[in-house]
Chains A and B, each alone.
Chain A
Amino acid sequence: MEIALSWYLGLSAVLFAIGVAGVLFRSNLIIILMSVELMLNAVNITLVALSQYMGEVSGQILVFFVMSVAAAEAAIGLAIVIAIFRNKLTVDVNNINLFKW
């Protein structure tokens, strides 16, 4: 049985919304980073699904790029989190407010 495109898109939308919510409302930096990954993967699902639906591979190739960028982003993000933790002994974003007027 073929699963309709709308299901994939629906799944992707739900995952993306969860990611956004995580970024906006959680206060632990690591969780925020994970939520960003979630958003990226939601986009990946969209890309793969549409690529399959339109019979074209370029979308799937793009996914590889997204994954590699995501890997790099995770590495750098974690490095930043560790650096912040070493300085402030916390990873709670509410305590990181150097930009405040």
Chain B
Amino acid sequence: MDTDLLLLLIVLLPAAGAVLNGLLPLMWPQLRRSEAAIGAVGTACVAVPFVLALVLFFQGFAEPYVGSFYTWMGVGDFSVSVAYRVDHLSLIMALVVTGVGALIHLYSIGYMHGDRSFWKFFAYLNLFIFMMLNLVLADNLLLMFLGWEGVGLCSYLLIGFWYEDFKNSQAATKAFVVNRIGDFAFLLAMFILVREVGSLDFAEVFAAAGEMTAGTLNAVVFLLFIGATGKSAQIPLFVWLPDAMAGPTPVSALIHAATMVTSGLYLLARMSSVVLMAPTVMGLIAVTGALTALVAATIAIAQTDIKRVLAYSTVSQLGFMFMASGVGAFFVAIFHVVTHAFFKACLFLGSGSVIHGMHHVEHDLRRAGYKDPFDPQDMRTMGGLGRFMPRTRWTYLAATLAISGIPLTAGFFSKDEILFKAFEFGYDGHLFAWFVWSVGIGTALLTAFYMMRSYMLTFEGSHRWPMAQRVHPHESPWTITAPLVVLAALSLVGGFIGLPKLAEKAGLANWIHGYLVGHGTHHGPVVEAAATAHVSVGIEVVLIVLGSLIAIGGVWWAWRFYALHELTGDERIRLRFGGLYRWWQRSYYWDEFYDKVAVRPVVGGAENAFAPFDNRVVDGLVNAVARTAQQISRMARHLQTGVVQAYALAIVLGVVVVIALMVR
């Protein structure tokens, strides 16, 4: 098939799904009940683009292909078109978005069963896929920004999906407002580029980047990075992501773990040739990533809500990806995006399956007359679920091992590659990279520990929910477990697309490196920092062994610790770390800090300065105009005597005047 046609189908099918699922049930409410049809349409509108993207994938596209469909706007010399770019980078992203997306759509059929806004959920989800595809396939920054804002909107809609609960709609607003800050920086970067380059097409921006002054270039890259911190939840803008877990779990898996939050990384990888020209900002990117990874990992240890653990884990893993970008290994960041999409989606969907099971427990408890509040997401009231939910348990375990970086799982390859690249960059003479590397190693240990903790508290040990003798959860239906199995399998084997450099000795190339960066004379879409010093094989082996030991050690430690102490393990950690633990529990008081320095001053300023201004000056002006008109009218209305003959006289006099004028 024609590439243009394929492209259009890939992008427009999810949009068609959104329209079908959104408008038809809106107009004919009796359609809202037909969950099977809505779910099938929604899933097909993502699964078919996945197949089509696979077709494109197997066609190669070593040279980028740009399909231009429509001139969006043209002002003088400046023009922006709706043009999609097919190259290795956008293809990988499109495959992840549609592939994981299709699995999560399938999952949602089971998970959202019985929700009264089932149709709306699928409409939003399809709209999200449409926007995300625009983001990753766009050939210019503005179209990418359209997708960027679009996914932000869908994120807002889906976080606040159960908006009857005010807490959820607050979380949605928070996500939207925090994202705005990043989006604003993205906009500023585009303004600079329009002034300097006169175009937002990637090819022209890349070509002109070398001629920009260092100051401008640094400003552009810095602003793009701030934009990325917003969407990809890094310090200082990560606070929205944990709250975003208020949305339904498939949303957390798709938007807030696998796809949308990685778009900041995609932006950096797409602009890699420009980012590389601003080494100072790169240092900032790497250090920010490292700090975020560490901060989020420590917070995750102290969380008791299963989804919040995963949320902070996502922030932490995104920090790892930023580390990779900051040391110039953008392709590794994308590699980790892919593997992370597998195991984090699997973990979130697994937690969704657990929550689904615990909801049934809650339901049974209520029927049995249990009155106290019960939180189906609280790990403290779970325990030993593995006996009742075997498929969920094994898939969750597989993904946990993968994210911990147990050798030969997906996370092992990508995380090890990130740490290796950081090490290599430090070896190359960049001092900050040593800091990044050591923080990365420490965080890897924490990751293994807190992920295993979540597994142990959820699936192993004793049953800690009330009346555990009488009620227990059941395994979820196949629409929920099938995606789990697929994702768990990918979490285990997905890493083989990016073998370590060591494997070259055995004649095995790093596929994703060759695919994204290119080899020999051929150049792929992603540029990497050129290393001058090469790390010897011996050191590489040591690093790999170190990484494996840390992962195994962290997992083993958490397994021993929580098998022995179960819930009292948390208590032991709390006693051990004291005040620090409270900081972890409360996310380092980050929200409180922002509340004090940003939210309250703004709200207070609005109440004390702008409200009086608005009430007195603005309203005063409007009222003054109205009052003047009223005064004039009060005088003028006396003309209306109500005497018909007075009007007639006026007419006659008018006629006389007109005739007099005509005759003259």
- Chain A residues close to B by CB (< 8 Å): 20, 23-25, 27, 93-94, 96-101
Q: Which residues of B contact A94 (CB under 8 A)?
A: 643
- Do A93 and B643 have beta carbons less than 8 Å apart? yes
CB under 8 Å from chain A, chain B span 596-636: none
- Do B652 and A24 have beta carbons less than 8 Å apart? yes
Q: 15 additional contacts, CB 8 Å, given A23-B645, A24-B648, A101-B640?
A: A20-B652, A23-B648, A24-B645, A24-B649, A24-B652, A25-B645, A27-B645, A93-B643, A93-B644, A96-B644, A97-B644, A98-B642, A100-B641, A100-B643, A101-B637
Query: In whole Å, how far is B112's beta carbon from the nearest beta carbon of chain A?
Result: 63
Query: In whole Å, how far is B647's beta carbon from the nearest beta carbon of chain A?
Result: 8
- Do A93 and B645 have beta carbons less than 8 Å apart? yes
Residue in chain B with minimal CB distance to A21: B652
Measured CA separation A96–B643 after assembly (Å): 7
Query: In whole Å, how far is B420's beta carbon from the nearest beta carbon of chain A?
Result: 90
- Do B640 and A99 have beta carbons less than 8 Å apart? yes
- Chain B residues close to A by CB (< 8 Å): 637-638, 640-645, 648-649, 652
Q: Which residues of A contact B640 (CB under 8 A)?
A: 99-101
Q: Which residues of A contact B637 (CB under 8 A)?
A: 101
Q: Which residues of A contact B652 (CB under 8 A)?
A: 20, 24
Q: Which residues of A contact B638 (CB under 8 A)?
A: 101
Query: In whole Å, how far is B645's beta carbon from the nearest beta carbon of chain A?
Result: 5
Residue in chain B with minimal CB distance to A97: B642
Residue in chain B with minimal CB distance to A25: B645
- Do A97 and B641 have beta carbons less than 8 Å apart? yes
Measured CA separation A45–B455 after assembly (Å): 109
- Do A99 and B645 have beta carbons less than 8 Å apart? no
Measured CA separation A40–B545 after assembly (Å): 114
Measured CA separation A20–B656 after assembly (Å): 12
Measured CA separation A24–B644 after assembly (Å): 9
Query: In whole Å, how far is B653's beta carbon from the nearest beta carbon of chain A?
Result: 10
Residue in chain B with minimal CB distance to A20: B652
Measured CA separation A27–B645 after assembly (Å): 8
- Do A97 and B643 have beta carbons less than 8 Å apart? yes
Measured CA separation A98–B642 after assembly (Å): 6
Q: Which residues of B contact A27 (CB under 8 A)?
A: 645
Residue in chain A with minimal CB distance to B652: A20
Measured CA separation A23–B484 after assembly (Å): 93
Measured CA separation A100–B637 after assembly (Å): 9
Which of B642, B648, B649 lies in contact with A99, CB distance below 8 A? B642
Residue in chain A with minimal CB distance to B641: A100
- Do A101 and B645 have beta carbons less than 8 Å apart? no
Query: In whole Å, how far is A86's beta carbon from the nearest beta carbon of chain B?
Result: 18
Measured CA separation A27–B644 after assembly (Å): 10
Query: In whole Å, how far is A34's beta carbon from the nearest beta carbon of chain B?
Result: 15
Measured CA separation A99–B644 after assembly (Å): 9
Residue in chain B with minimal CB distance to A99: B642
Residue in chain A with minimal CB distance to B647: A99
- Do A100 and B645 have beta carbons less than 8 Å apart? no
Measured CA separation A24–B638 after assembly (Å): 20
A-B contacts, 27 of them at CB < 8 A, read A20-B652, A23-B645, A23-B648, A24-B645, A24-B648, A24-B649, A24-B652, A25-B645, A27-B645, A93-B643, A93-B644, A93-B645, A94-B643, A96-B644, A97-B641, A97-B642, A97-B643, A98-B642, A99-B640, A99-B641, A100-B640, A100-B642, A100-B643, A101-B637, A101-B640, A101-B641, A101-B642
Measured CA separation A27–B434 after assembly (Å): 106
Residue in chain B with minimal CB distance to A27: B645
Residue in chain B with minimal CB distance to A98: B642
Query: In whole Å, how far is B584's beta carbon from the nearest beta carbon of chain A?
Result: 75
Residue in chain A with minimal CB distance to B643: A97
Measured CA separation A27–B648 after assembly (Å): 12
Query: In whole Å, how far is B638's beta carbon from the nearest beta carbon of chain A?
Result: 6
Q: Which residues of B contact A93 (CB under 8 A)?
A: 643-645
Measured CA separation A96–B648 after assembly (Å): 14
The 3 closest A-B pairs by CB, nearest first: A100-B642, A97-B642, A101-B637
Q: Which residues of A contact B645 (CB under 8 A)?
A: 23-25, 27, 93
Q: Which residues of A contact B644 (CB under 8 A)?
A: 93, 96-97
Q: Which residues of B contact A98 (CB under 8 A)?
A: 642
Query: In whole Å, how far is A28's beta carbon from the nearest beta carbon of chain B?
Result: 12
Residue in chain B with minimal CB distance to A36: B648
Residue in chain A with minimal CB distance to B642: A100
Residue in chain B with minimal CB distance to A96: B644
Q: Which residues of B contact A100 (CB under 8 A)?
A: 640-643
Measured CA separation A38–B642 after assembly (Å): 25
Q: Which residues of B contact A23 (CB under 8 A)?
A: 645, 648
Residue in chain A with minimal CB distance to B637: A101
Query: In whole Å, how far is A94's beta carbon from the nearest beta carbon of chain B?
Result: 7
Q: Which residues of B contact A96 (CB under 8 A)?
A: 644
Residue in chain B with minimal CB distance to A23: B648
Query: In whole Å, how far is A88's beta carbon from the nearest beta carbon of chain B?
Result: 14
Query: In whole Å, how far is B635's beta carbon from the nearest beta carbon of chain A?
Result: 11
Measured CA separation A6–B211 after assembly (Å): 94
Q: Which residues of A contact B649 (CB under 8 A)?
A: 24
Measured CA separation A101–B638 after assembly (Å): 6
Q: Which residues of A contact B648 (CB under 8 A)?
A: 23-24
Q: Which residues of B contact A99 (CB under 8 A)?
A: 640-642
Query: In whole Å, how far is B659's beta carbon from the nearest beta carbon of chain A?
Result: 12
Scoring B641, B643, B649 by chain A CB atoms within 10 A of each residue's CB, the highest score goes to B643
Query: In whole Å, how far is B30's beta carbon from the nearest beta carbon of chain A?
Result: 52
Query: In whole Å, how far is A10's beta carbon from the nearest beta carbon of chain B?
Result: 17
Measured CA separation A96–B640 after assembly (Å): 13
Query: In whole Å, how far is A56's beta carbon from the nearest beta carbon of chain B?
Result: 22
Residue in chain A with minimal CB distance to B633: A101
Measured CA separation A23–B641 after assembly (Å): 17
Q: Which residues of B contact A97 (CB under 8 A)?
A: 641-644
Query: In whole Å, how far is B198's beta carbon from the nearest beta carbon of chain A?
Result: 64
Query: In whole Å, how far is B660's beta carbon from the nearest beta carbon of chain A?
Result: 16
Query: In whole Å, how far is B350's beta carbon from the nearest beta carbon of chain A?
Result: 77
Q: Which residues of B contact A20 (CB under 8 A)?
A: 652
Query: In whole Å, how far is A95's beta carbon from the nearest beta carbon of chain B?
Result: 10
Measured CA separation A20–B649 after assembly (Å): 9
Query: In whole Å, how far is B634's beta carbon from the nearest beta carbon of chain A?
Result: 9
Measured CA separation A5–B643 after assembly (Å): 38
Query: In whole Å, how far is B466's beta carbon from the nearest beta carbon of chain A?
Result: 77
Q: Which residues of A contact B641 (CB under 8 A)?
A: 97, 99-101
Q: Which residues of A contact B643 (CB under 8 A)?
A: 93-94, 97, 100
